[in-house]
Amino acid sequence: MTDRQNDRVRVGRVKEITSLTNPIIKDIRALAIKKNRDRSGLFLSEGQKLVIDAMDLGWTIRTLVYAKSAKEKAGVASLAARAVAAGALVLEVSEKVLSAITRRDNPQMVCGVFEQQFAALADLQPKQGETYVALDRVRDPGNLGTIMRTADAAGASAIILVGDCTDPFSLETTRATMGSVFAIPVARTSVEGFLKWCDSAEATLVGTHLEGSVDYRTIDYAARPVVLLMGNEQAGLPESLAQRCDKLARIPQAGRADSLNLAVATGVMLFEARRHALEV
């Protein structure tokens, strides 16, 4: 939000908006575009439960938006009060405005604008029993969101985005994470930065490759911390990264499919690598 708009609307006040041309609504809608998310450092998350979870986990909410028709619904008033207390702007809007913000015909009744948070790669220091997921140039927002959700569910410690990756804070990605965007730390780096980090991290780098020589089920994932390195959807892992891996694992396949979908392959790898840590 611009300073001019901040001046117009005092932070902490509840404001009713019905017009799509309102400048605050325009700014929120603009978060659909990466350039605007990058510039503002903000992103949109949908759903009352997710907004509450995010605040519980310490994420900074800038704006809470709820449908006027949901005002009387359980928890909405107390969430609004909590957001006001946290210094957020609270907007009570028409469903038409919510639809426009979320780009959906049947929008969630509550959404929040949050500050983005990236983990610093230097702060990720793999410890015994931990598993990290590194993604080489992941391009598909749905794949990234699904991987973030799966990594969270499998108890991975963080995701490392290597090279030019899709934005973890796009609406499509955050939707696919089903809330895990707030739970799994995400760091980003270049190929060089990643390899430098690998040099200092005392972890086994397990690359996954269609030509991998090791059956993924034969690796000891408990002996040391593990970094699972997954290749780009189209190109797979480049030679420069593959040759730096301690092991190149392959998931055996039958049938006619050339390869598994990236998110599926990551899920298969993660639950095998976390087997020692997961109990029913």
Instruction: Give least dist CB 182 to ligand SAM, A.
Output: 26
Distance between CA atoms of 54 and 183, rounded to whole angstroms? 8
Number of residues engaging ligand SAM in binding (CB under 6 A): 16
Query: Applying CB under 6 A, does 191 fall inside the site for ligand SAM?
Result: no
Query: In the set 121, 222, 260, 277, which binds ligand SAM (CB under 6 A)?
Result: 260
Could you identify the residue written with the tokens 């609004």?
A: 80
Minimum CB–partner distance for residue 124 and ligand SAM (Å) = 20
C-beta atoms surrounding 208 within 10 Å: 27
Determine which residue in the list 259, 271, 272, 277 makes contact with ligand SAM, applying CB under 6 A: 259
Query: Which is closer to ligand SAM, CB of 130 or CB of 140?
Result: 140
Nearest distance in Å: CB 121, ligand SAM: 20
Pick out residues in 208-247 that bind ligand SAM (CB under 6 A). 208-210, 212, 230-231, 233, 236-237
Nearer to ligand SAM, 173 or 232 (CB): 232
Residue 105 to residue 152: CA distance in whole angstroms: 29
Considering only 251, 271, 272, 277, the residue that binds ligand SAM (CB under 6 A) is 251
Closer residue to ligand SAM, CB minimum distance, 163 or 231: 231
**Stretch of 27-35, 42-50, 66-74, 202-210 contacting ligand SAM, by CB under 6 A:** 202-210
CB of 266 to ligand SAM, least distance (A): 7
Binding status of residue 73 toward ligand SAM by CB under 6 A = no
How near is the Cβ of 265 to ligand SAM at its closest, in Å? 4
Say how far apart CA 158 and CA 188 lie, in whole Å: 11
- Among the residue ranges 52-60, 83-91, 186-194, 255-263, the one whose residues contact ligand SAM (CB under 6 A): 255-263
Stretch that binds ligand SAM, among 39-47, 182-190, 218-226, 248-256 (CB under 6 A): 248-256
CB of 186 to ligand SAM, least distance (A): 18
The 3-state secondary structure of the chain, one letter per residue? CCHHHHHHCCCCCEEEECCCCCHHHHHHHHHHCHHHHHHHCEEEEECHHHHHHHHHCCCCEEEEEEEHHHCCCCCHHHHHHHHHHCCCEEEEECHHHHHHHHCCCCCCCEEEEEECCCCCHHHCCCCCCCEEEEEECCCCHHHHHHHHHHHHHHCCCEEEEECCCCCCCCHHHHHHHCCHHHCCCEEEECHHHHHHHHHHCCCEEEEECCCCCEEHHHCCCCCCCEEEEECECCCECCHHHHCCCCEEEECCCCCCCCCCCHHHHHHHHHHHHCHHHCCC
Q: Contact, 47 vs 75, CB < 8 A?
A: no
265 binds ligand SAM (CB under 6 A): yes
Which residues form the interface with ligand SAM (CB under 6 A)?
A: 208-210, 212, 230-231, 233, 236-237, 250-251, 253, 259-260, 262, 265
